[in-house]
Amino acid sequence: MFFKSGHRKSSNPILAIFRLMMSLVIIAILGLGLLQAYKAFSGYDPLKLDSESLKNLMSSDSSGDIFSKLLSLNPQSSLNDAGSVLEGEVVGETKSAAPVKFKFAVVADSHKDTANLQKALAQAQQEGVKFVIIMGDLSDVGTIEELTATKNVLDASGLTYYVAAGDHDLWDSRDKENNAPKNFTEVFGQTYDSFSYENVRYIMIYNSDNYLGLDGVQLKWIEDELIRAQTDQPELIFVFAPTPLFHPSSDHVMGKVTPKLSEQAKHLITMFKKNGVDLVFSADTHFFSKFTEPENDLDMITVGAVTSEKNAQAPRYALVEIREDGSYNTRETEIK
């Protein structure tokens, strides 16, 4: 049958609705697949991004670029580009115009990427940092060889550094039925430490053992450190916990492997807030983010990862500026 020009044959409305519904289902399946791929790759649930990360993402000029690349179904490229939206942003800026008193860097999750670690240390040195805090996962599986290779890079930098153990740094010792931090302590020394610099107190804890958590000796040491800080009254108190005590969108937290350790994490958070800790730094998520633990209103940061492998962002570290008035800025810095 022929129809006059300019007229169309009427379509079946039920068929049209069915096609529309099928199209929506296909789009939903593709979207869920992308979200699940992102979560599996990075450990992050993109539906639960903290407000700071979401704000940075949506306000970025390149956000449209990122989402169009996500639709390209190239996960590796898409995830790397998604991470780049935070480049150069100042996170946790204080509004203070006081001069910068000194800087230090917080570096984490280099694994075996010693080339990127060298770059990060060189950049930090150019920024004029007084020291570097290394937040664990200096190796893939914690062999003496891997840990020593990282130590050689740190020593060669000429920077003063302080090192905490990550969960990856314990694997080889545990597999050989030794005390989990045996290899780490053989190469780097003790697993927790504290020090002061320019009236700022730094407390580095060892919470990376996913099975045992913190023992009574360390818990008592932390209590004593916090009491000492109250007596000395530093301008700022920073805590460094390689495994996050809490995170609003990542499952890389204390208690993921052994659920009962989540209660220990809550105890630490409460203790830190009660004793005036200003900020808790963590690592392990391979993603830079700043957020507040809601029950205690305690500020926290995950500092991103140095390694280029399994990294949802371009490799980066945190640069911390302490100002003359006792305020501070924490700025993520992409490794060039």
pLDDT single digits (tens) 146-199: 999 999 999 999 999 999 999 999 999 988 888 999 999 999 999 999 999 999
Tokens (6 digits) for 84: 């780049």
| CATH class given for the domain over 93-334 | alpha beta
Residue 182: how many other CB atoms lie within 10 Å: 16
In the prediction, which pLDDT does 71 show? 43
Strand partners, 320: 104, 330
Sign, Cα dihedral of 118, 123, 126, 127: negative
Provide mean pLDDT across the span 294-316. 94
Tell me how long the chain is: 336
Task: Give the C-alpha separation, 273 to 130, whole Å.
Answer: 27
> For the whole model, what pTM was predicted?
0.75
| CA distances to 151, 204, 239, 262 from 226, in Å | 30, 12, 10, 21
Task: Give the C-alpha separation, 24 to 256, whole Å.
Answer: 35
In the prediction, which pLDDT does 61 show? 35
Q: Are the C-beta atoms of residues 172 and 206 closer than 8 Å to each other?
A: no
Helix, strand, coil % over all residues of the chain, rounded to 5:
40, 20, 40
In the prediction, which pLDDT does 35 show? 57
Domain boundaries, the chain: 13-85, 93-334
Task: Give the C-alpha separation, 283 to 332, whole Å.
Answer: 13
pLDDT exceeds 90 at position 4:
no
pLDDT single digits (tens) 34-76: 555 455 444 455 555 545 544 444 433 334 444 443 444 444 3
pLDDT single digits (tens) 262-288: 999 999 999 999 999 999 999 999 999
Place of tokens 């052994």: 258
Task: Give the C-alpha separation, 41 to 107, whole Å.
Answer: 21
Measured N-to-C along each axis, helices 144-157 and 114-126 cross at an angle, to the nearest 10 degrees, of 20
